[in-house]
Amino acid sequence: MTPSTDRNQQLFDRAKALIPGGVNSPVRAFRAVGGTPRFVQRAQGAYFWDANGQRHIDYIGSWGPMILGHGHPRVLEAVQRAAQDGFSFGAPTEREVELAEEIVRHLPSVEMVRLVSSGTEAAMSAIRLARGATNRSRIIKFEGCYHGHADALLVKAGSGLATFGHPTSAGVPPEVVQHTLVLEYNNVAQLEEAFTRHGKDLACLIIEPIAGNMNFVRASLPFMQRCRELCTQHGALLVFDEVMTGFRVALGSAQSVYARALPGFAPDITVLGKVIGGGMPLAAFGGSRALMENLAPLGPVYQAGTLSGNPIATACGLATLQEIARPGFFEALAQKTRMLVEGLTSAAAGAGLPFAGDCEGGMFGFFLLSRLPQNYAAVMKSDTAKFAKLFHGLLDRGVYIAPALYEAGFVSSAHSDEDIAETISIAREVFRAL
């Protein structure tokens, strides 16, 4: 493609003149892999077409929300019908109640929810709720987990165990993160020590139960069990950030996966986003009635939003949740996702490439490593140059995965067995060329 015919490049140049980096969210800029981002013209089912008219099999799906694929007819109809009735009222609607009912129905740990507009807002509000309800300031987060870009959560680990973290972004004053303790994921000894030292001051521990923001790293069962026990023992709240995993890895979300192995297991607060909006700006946080009644207007913890519970977003989310609640939906989705990961694994083996993949429900990840990593430091041992080559090899052939090796992938119900087979055969070709 010459510069005069590459519409993606032309649009990127125009965008860069007006929008920092040419994008409205950094990872879209392809900085980790180089090259020109694809500007999406339209999408349908498992595919999108870029500005040059090239078709891509989409394994990002808006970073998770598009679990039914693009333009699902029943979702589209619900959105169109809702739009006819008005865009936003700043007053309550029946659909908010219906969506809340649909969320609560599938999550036993959630008795009440508050709807917001982004995962960032939901996680930030959940932390405020935990602090308000416990009257404590300190929080634990884990290195490699992402909980949106609220100041207090933009933190990386300090220089040693049980030290408080450093801001990962300019513009975040050290005082704002001085209450955030950053620990290594899946490290039980560090966790124990942190609770021994700070347990009585801890408002909550926030965790991605399956960390999709370091590609795909599961919290081990013993680690998760210890998180639960220590929180309970010290009066801290266990916050599950299921913005990515919620209604994505199972209808009961990641907490149901842990509850299967650890009977009675439940988080205190659940943070949701992505799938529950079906591609519209919608997120939520929820927990027990007693806890949630700390929120304004009932309690002292303030939280609000002009567009919260937006009528079009709730219509989209509700239609999406109703579709994925159909019998057999997740079994079929999980089967397809497994087929993809197994196919990629055997293609890599055929090419003699180190490769380790994992999946749950409609979410997957893989690493160019000989075994699955357990924490951020191990994830970062991946070969970034090789990943960039892999990424562009797939992209050139119409397979769109995340342009960074620390991001998960997503399969939708619109991906056919043929799409999966085509992806695997393209991957086989690309792996061989590596």
Ligand X SMILES: *Cc1c(COP(=O)(O)O)cnc(C)c1O
Instruction: Give the residues lining the site for ligand X (CB under 6 A).
Output: 118-120, 123, 146-148, 208, 212-213, 241, 243-244, 273, 283
Q: Is 241 part of the annotated catalytic residue set?
A: yes
* Calpha distance 44→367 (Å, rounded): 28
Residue nearer to ligand X on the CB measure, 50 or 121: 121
Q: Provide the 10 A C-beta neighbour count for residue 286.
A: 25
Q: Which is closer to ligand X, CB of 244 or CB of 388?
A: 244
Q: CA 276, CA 271: separation in Å to the nearest integer? A: 11
SS3 283: strand
Distance between CA 163 and CA 20 in Å, rounded? 34
**Pairing label, strands 356-360, 363-367:** antiparallel
**Residue of 47, 59, 146, 258 with catalytic role:** 146
Q: How far is the CB of 3 from ligand X (least distance, A)?
A: 33
Nearer CB in complex with ligand X: 353/404: 404
Cis omega before residue 92 (within 30°)?
no
Neighbouring residues of 410: CB distance < 8 A, sequence distance ≥ 6: 59, 60, 61, 63, 64, 66, 67, 248, 362, 363, 364
As measured in angstroms, the least distance from the Cβ of 120 to ligand X is 3
Residue nearest to ligand X (CB): 119
Please say if 400 is a catalytic residue. no
The one catalytic residue in 141, 258, 274, 376 is 274
CA atoms of 133 and 363, how far apart (whole Å): 33
Angstrom distance (rounded) from CA 125 to CA 46: 33
Among residues 241, 268, 358, 419, the one annotated as catalytic is 241
The span from the CA of 76 to the CA of 319, in Å, is 9
Q: Which is nearer to ligand X, 147 or 228 (CB)?
A: 147
Residue 13 annotated in active site: no
Strand partners, 286: 113, 270
202-207: strand order across its sheet: 112-116, 283-287, 269-272, 237-242, 202-207, 138-142, 180-183
Angle among Cα 46, 395, 383 to the nearest 5 degrees reads 120
Shortest approach of ligand X to residue 19 CB, angstroms? 17
Q: What is the DSSP string of 139-150?
A: EEEETT----S-
Q: Which residues neighbour 303 within 8 Å (Cβ) at sequence distance 6 or greater?
A: 114, 116, 125, 128, 129, 295, 296
Residues identified as active-site: 146, 241, 274
